[in-house]
Structure 1
Amino acid sequence: MGRVSQAEAKVNRERVVAAASRLFREDGVVKVGIADVMKSIGLTQGGFYKQFASKDALVDEATAKAFADNLHDLVALDHEAGGHQAAWQSLLESYFSVEHRDNPGTGCPAAGFAGDIAREPEHRETYARGVQELAGWIAPGDAGLAAYATLVGGILLARATAGTPLSEQILQAAHAAVARAADGGQPETG
């Protein structure tokens, strides 16, 4: 098998980052090895080190990609839903759903990476930037941070209690709390 072109290498790198982003959110950074990521997209582990300096470099890039993709989707939702208020309501409905609870690999990056980032401080700057940008989409300043913290906390607790009646109660209670705090589609600022 011959060498891959620069274009193929770029596509492969993007595939690796996307797969890692999903797998890390699903199973955790510690549990998912380089071999797991590469196998999931049909590439060999040896090719990894031609593209990345280390697993830490991949974790940082996968975290940044997850947040950037999520923000891109939210900005697009503003346009599709006909404005921020409608987009915010749509986000609340999908965020506190059983589907989101049960699919962390494609869900909220703040929730998906929270446990690992708390234990691996070298990735906190990337994670913090992502949290700040997504909270800013919700609302400016502390209002956006408070609403985002409620979203993330609610989904983490719902995931941790999945399979019990409490899980769906948490989803409903967190949804209601954030919706009550909303004023014109955005959390209250004061």
Structure 2
Amino acid sequence: MEKQTHKARTRQRILEEAARVMREKGTESIGVASLMKRVGLTHGGFYAHFSSRDDLVQEVMKQMFADSAQRVEPAAQDAPPAQRLVAFINYYLSVVHRNAPAEGCPLPALVSEVAHLPEEARQIFSQGMHSVHERLAKPLREMGHDQPEALASSMLAEMVGALALARACPDDLLADEMLARSRYALMTRAGLES
């Protein structure tokens, strides 16, 4: 029993470290040897937990989407739909989220790489994207918006794009301005007050 628990904890440490690397530097930055060194384990120990590097990437993507949902979920869970939507938009397009790519939503970190990943990884990304889309669409439906799915798609695209651009921008003031303008535009389109 203790051996299984230790193995599960070790696997989790590997997943968490790989998630940090993927969010900050992308999937191509994950090398098995360097990852295992960061975790304090040998290269050979990797294969006790994952069958391949692709297997690791897929498991990390699942973990990243689950972690991201848990960070945001409790914020306004029992609030009215408009308040939940405002809270989500404000968090997603915040300076805190911009400055914490190692803990943030995986969509901006992975979107440019996904087309080059194996089919299984693209499916995981698609499911994660659908989950984030649903976080936008559900309150829009509850608020009675016309075409909530289309509006949620447009909002998601702007949020991911704005966050990715803000992270890439070397000028913090300009990056802050991008986030603020996107927040305002999204609130306006959704009929919300910030």
TM-score by length of structure 2 reads 0.83
How many residue pairs were aligned?
181
Q: Secondary structure at the match of 2:28?
A: coil
Task: Output the amino acid matched with 2:85.
Answer: W
Matched with 1:160 is: 168
Residue 103 (1) aligns with residue 100 (2): yes
Report how far residue 164 of structure 1 moved. 5.7
Counterpart contact for 2:23–2:110, Cα < 8 Å: yes
**Is the CA contact (8 Å cut-off) linking 1:38 and 1:48 kept in structure 2?**
yes
- CA displacement, residues 59-102 of structure 1 (integer Å, 9 cap, x when unaligned): 111111111222233332233x6344323222222222222222
**1:50 and 1:158, CA in 2 relative to 1: closer, same or farther beyond 3 A?**
same
Q: Cα 1:182–1:28, aligned 2, differ >3 Å: closer, same or farther? A: same
Give matches, 1:12-161, under 5 Å.
Answer: 12-79=10-77, 82-122=79-119, 123-140=121-138, 141-161=149-169
Identity of aligned pairs, percent? 30
Conserved 8 A contact 1:17-1:58: yes
Equivalent residue for 1:188?
Answer: none
Secondary structure of 1:107's counterpart equals: coil
CA distance in 2 between counterparts of 1:38 and 1:21 reads 13
> Kindly tell me: are residues 126 and 139 of structure 1, through their superposed partners in 2, closer, same or farther at Cα, counting changes over 3 Å?
same
Give CA deviations for 1:18-75 in whole Å, capped at 9, x if unaligned: 2211211111111231223223332222211111011111111111111122223333
